[in-house]
Structure 1
């Protein structure tokens, strides 16, 4: 492991259609303490034929060491390394010639925070951005002044009001940013469900993939 690029030599797992045969791709980013293979297994719950699944692995299962609402410098160099590794996963999803509009980015928890930051920093029209309990990275009081246009990209954020890791206020700030960037936003607030992945979210993913693969 490089001290300046801790995720640089980590693998990118794949499943589903080959790059040449894929109608769409889904990039799946795991949470803290988890594994890429687990996200590929999760994809079986909403996946379909003709889709390529791409899942980057974090060094020691963790994308950055501190909470996502810590000052950004406290999560460096891990955060920059994680964003670069996610970029390589997106490149892998594109490797068969797919346009960004046919690539869906999905993250859970720490992975959801990472994918939201990835798209907000370089806005473009992906097939969808799905945050399963996550939000933009930065300490309380951060001014999220991202500029750009995602051109109606489907955007989903789901979070419970008692999630111990994701403050509802940060979820709301994240939704505001992507509304300003021109996303087609769906924001699901759940009551008393804690931190997890929920049935409504799996249903949304299935419907989104159906749209993207048409």
Structure 2
């Protein structure tokens, strides 16, 4: 998630909205049968198709997947721990791309209260930034191996909204070389300040990846939504 992308020098050539023309990959239950939506936001160097394949690990009948694709397979080009402005306009474009995927899910008739936002690595940073800017009640939020964007001392203005008790799962491993544990805790605190119902977990020995225990938490979240 952190570190300069090798093609970052070409970032200025992508225009003011780098992700505007990227597709949203759909999978899972067809829209007429879907009861729950999951917006899947992939990590740096990955793809929408790849994160859809990953999501097969927690697929349930009645769940539809919507996965926006990032331009050049990365949502922003520079270190997530640096100044936010350096990653613009890519970060704002990424937020808008995920917002469009949310709208696409809503257009199928699935309300926000039955929609889960899932982000891994750089995708987790984008999900966090979206909800920091535009908090609202959702069916759930899953932020894995990622954190807020910006330096440690970034100041967050008071949000014009609330997560209103949305279940939020923030997790990472203590052996993750890209995401320090203290940033994971600060990200969980940010979601608490937005009135999220936060579960925070750090897994011993886990590197930059997703554990079976994390998949179990996601399965439980989806089962609860499908049962209600």
Q: Distance in 2 between matches of 1:146 and 1:167?
A: 25
**Residue in structure 1 matching 2:173, options 121, 140, 160:** 160
Is the CA contact 1:28–1:54 (under 8 Å) kept in the aligned structure 2? yes
TM-score under structure 2 normalisation? Answer: 0.90
Is the CA contact 1:116–1:129 (under 8 Å) kept in the aligned structure 2? no
C-alpha RMSD of matched pairs (Å): 1.3
**Residue in structure 1 matching 2:28, options 11, 16, 28:** 16
Deviates more, 1:191-200 or 1:143-152: 143-152
Q: 1:199 is matched with which residue?
A: 212
**Residue in structure 2 matching 1:61, options 62, 69, 73:** 73
Structure 2 alignment gaps of length 5 or more: 1-12
Give the C-alpha shift of residue 184 in structure 1. 1.2
Give the C-alpha shift of residue 2 in structure 1. 4.4
Q: 1:130 is matched with which residue?
A: 142
**Residue in structure 2 matching 1:50, options 62, 73, 79:** 62
Structure 1 alignment gaps of length 5 or more: none
Task: Work out whether 1:75 is the aligned partner of 2:87.
Answer: yes
Q: Distance in 2 between matches of 1:48 and 1:117?
A: 28
Q: Distance in 2 between matches of 1:151 and 1:97?
A: 21
Runs of 4+ in structure 1 displaced over 4 angstroms? none
How many residues in Structure 1 have an aligned counterpart in Structure 2? 214
Q: Distance in 2 between matches of 1:165 and 1:2?
A: 26
Q: Distance in 2 between matches of 1:110 and 1:82?
A: 10
Q: Distance in 1 between matches of 2:93 and 2:163?
A: 24
**Residue in structure 1 matching 2:51, options 29, 39, 47:** 39
